[in-house]
Amino acid sequence: MALLRFVPCITLAKLNNGHDLTQLIRAEYGLLVGSLMSMAGDLSLAEDALQEALAQALEQWPSRGQPKNPAAWILTVARRRLLDQFRKTKHRNADLVQQTLLNTHPTQHDDVYDNGECIPDHRLELIFTCCHPSLAPEAQIALTLKVVCGLSIGQIARAYLTSEAAMSKRIGRAKFKIKHAGIGYKVPHGAAMEQRLSSVLAVIYLIYNESYNAYEGQTLTQEDLALEAIYLAKLMHGMLPQSSVAGLLALLLLHDSRRSARSSKTQTYIPLKLQDRSLWDQNKIAEGTKLVKSALVSGQFGPYQLQAAISALHSNAQSWKSTDWLQIVGLYDVLYDIEPSPIILLNHCVALFYAGSLDQSYQKVIELEPQLRDYQPYHAAKAEMEAELGDLTAAKESYILAIGLSKNDAEKQFLARQLRGL
Amino acid sequence: MQFLALIYSSEGSEDVPMSELMGQYMDFGERAGAAGVVEGGNALQPIATATSVQIRQGKQTILDGPFAETKEQLGGYYLLQCKDLDEAIMWAAQIPTARYGTVEVRPVHNFG
């Protein structure tokens, strides 16, 4: 589905089906909504105008042919719908829309088939608006997937295992708040920028993370959400090439480079340690590694840059054994300074373990138990250490605890296999 | 746009002596005033002074106490004139009580 974003054009024969047209403009969806939003100041109005323009395209294109620049055609028609609406409601932006239409199309008649207008790019404003921290995180995610990525409410609802009605309500409430709470349609600057940017990056990161959780009944595949997240990260990086953005994009690319190695025909979950490294996508690794390097050269070591650097060390290691564990330990140290969480400490211990400090790291893991008792990866990591240390009884117990905490069938099967293999 | 910054805190939860807190509010008032942001504002008497009024079926009921008994109570407000929510948040974050209570920011409904 997401791959269709990169299909530049489709044959007219398919246009009798609305679905195909939606796919056609999905690549331009955020661009069109972003541009319309700059005049509408209301995401519902902007999306409604866009939908009406799409309906008109469906009516006209099959007989008249597809315009030279379909997106520009749709934008013009949507602006006209917006103008109609604004005149009816005496909206203060009516003149602005009219002027814009006059500037781009001096004659009012319907023929905009030769329209070559370059669509003004407001996607950065759009993303910052959708990810405003005054919206609940789940609303930020849903809204971003809807208006920036152009996913349908049904697709988003299925991805997050909720009903279309509930998802529609969530998105509707977020649009209402944007319209009425004084959330400015702008790229933040100054002191607000850092917080606002971290909010945007968190949304992209969460969308990618969701792609890891393959719940039963989830029809939007993991791959789809991962592609959306990478698309958003690339979009952000193209418009705002800052160190943290480069770090996030690198992190996603590096994680994604291992996608086809994470599962096989017989196994649905294969952890990094046991993956066939020849299946890793070397293009993504090269792209991610280059981005990490450039992000670190800037001297800014935020959480995304550091996690990406760790991922890059894994990606560029020939084997699990020959991984540069000492450097990974060092990076987790720095990461812990920024984000002192027990989960980072756990990862730090695992790296320390494989760097050779077996007893010291295992002791530290034991000390983490009160904080991570309910965290499945804690018991899985502990079990693995215990198996390596030869304490099979303890390993068995830890695997059983891990299996009990896992919510994912593939993971459960993997852990059960490990348990049997002891 | 006008925003109301509603200042909530548990009464007596301030981590600074009253005189110091007053100083901080004076300081905030001066800065926000100089920036032309403040259009109004007041501190309220403690919730022990609150009275709630309701009319049901034409009958007026007067109740002792605040409308909702919660951990944090409304203790004061500022009416701010800001460009957008981000600017309102920026000023709200500088209200001294934001450090131990909560400042809720709400746009004023414009019926125009």
Asked whether residue A170 is domain-assigned, the answer is: yes
Cβ-based interface (< 8 Å): residues of A facing B: 132, 134, 180-184, 186, 188, 191-192, 196
Distances in whole angstroms, Cα of residue A80 to Cα of each of A77, A86, A192, A308 = 5, 10, 35, 46
Question: How far is the C-alpha of A228 from the C-alpha of A234, rounded, in Å?
Answer: 10
Closest by CA to A61, choosing from A10, A9, A12, is A12
Shared domain check, A163 and A66: no
Asked whether residue A159 is domain-assigned, the answer is: yes
Shared domain check, A143 and A43: no
pLDDT value at A218 more than 50? no
Shared domain check, A236 and A127: yes
Q: Cβ of B63 under 8 Å from any chain A Cβ? A: no
Closest by CA to A234, choosing from A288, A283, A282, A188, is A288
Q: How far apart are the first and last CA of chain B?
A: 12
Whether residues A183 and B3 touch (CB distance < 8 A) is answered with: no
pLDDT value at A85 more than 70? yes
The one-letter code for the residue type at A274 is L
Please give the mean pLDDT across all residues of chain A.
Answer: 87
- At which of A77, A112, A147 does a domain end? A112
Question: How far is the C-alpha of A51 from the C-alpha of A414, rounded, in Å?
Answer: 46
For residue range A24-42, what is the model confidence (pLDDT) as tens digits?
677 789 999 999 999 999 9
> Where is average pLDDT lowest: A4-13, A139-148, A373-382, A405-414?
A4-13
**Total domain count for chain A?**
2
Distances in whole angstroms, Cα of residue A355 to Cα of each of A227, A321, A358 = 34, 9, 8
Shared domain check, A40 and A137: no
What is the per-residue pLDDT for A233?
96
| ipTM for the assembly | 0.85
In this structure, how many other beta carbons lie within 10 angstroms of the beta carbon of residue B29?
A: 14
For residue range A280-330, what is the model confidence (pLDDT) as tens digits?
999 999 999 999 999 988 888 899 999 999 999 999 999 999 999 999 999
Closest by CA to A5, choosing from A160, A232, A206, is A232
What is the per-residue pLDDT for A158?
82
What is the per-residue pLDDT for A5?
39
The one-letter code for the residue type at A155 is Q
Q: When comparing pLDDT for A167 and A195, which is higher?
A: A167
- At which of A220, A240, A260 does a domain end? A240
Which residues of B fall within a CB distance of 8 Å from A182? Answer: 1, 3, 82, 84-85, 88, 107
Q: How far is B57 from chain A (nearest CA, A)?
A: 33
What is the per-residue pLDDT for A278?
96
Question: How far is the C-alpha of B40 from the C-alpha of B81, rounded, in Å?
Answer: 9
Spell out the residues 6+ positions from residue B14 whose beta carbon is closer than 8 angstroms to its own: B21, B97, B100
Asked whether residue A13 is domain-assigned, the answer is: no
pLDDT tens string for chain B (112 positions)?
999 999 999 877 777 888 999 999 999 999 999 999 999 999 999 888 999 999 999 999 998 888 888 889 999 999 999 999 999 999 999 999 999 899 999 999 988 6
Residue in chain B lying closest to A195 (CA)? B86
Shared domain check, A69 and A142: no
Question: How far is the C-alpha of A139 from the C-alpha of A167, rounded, in Å?
Answer: 9
Domain of A84, in residue numbers? 18-112
Shared domain check, A145 and A222: yes
Helices of type H across A41-69 = 43-64
Shared domain check, A206 and A181: yes
- At which of A45, A78, A112 does a domain end? A112
Shared domain check, A102 and A126: no
Spell out the residues 6+ positions from residue A244 whose beta carbon is closer than 8 angstroms to its own: A197, A198, A201, A295, A300, A302, A304, A305
Give the pLDDT mean for A38-47.
94
Whether residues A181 and B107 touch (CB distance < 8 A) is answered with: yes
Whether residues A186 and B84 touch (CB distance < 8 A) is answered with: yes
Shared domain check, A236 and A198: yes
Helices A191-210 and A243-256 meet at what angle, rounded to 10?
10
Residue in chain A lying closest to B90 (CA)? A192
What is the per-residue pLDDT for B17?
87
Q: Counting every residue, how long is chain A?
A: 422
Whether residues A134 and B89 touch (CB distance < 8 A) is answered with: yes
Shared domain check, A163 and A61: no
Phi, psi of B82 (to 5 degrees): -135, 160
Shared domain check, A95 and A127: no
A392 sits in which H/E element: helix A392-405
Asked whether residue A257 is domain-assigned, the answer is: no
Highest mean pLDDT among A60-69, A78-87, A169-178, B47-56: A169-178
Q: When comparing pLDDT for A410 and A353, which is higher?
A: A353
| β-pair partners for B38 | B80
Shared domain check, A132 and A102: no
Whether residues B90 and A183 touch (CB distance < 8 A) is answered with: no
Residue position matching structure tokens 């209570």: B101
Q: When comparing pLDDT for A145 and A113, which is higher?
A: A145
Asked whether residue A231 is domain-assigned, the answer is: yes
Q: How many CA atoms lie within 13 A of A325 on its CB side?
A: 18
Q: Are strands B59-64 and B2-9 parallel, antiparallel or unpaired?
A: unpaired
Question: How far is the C-alpha of A342 from the C-alpha of A329, rounded, in Å?
Answer: 15
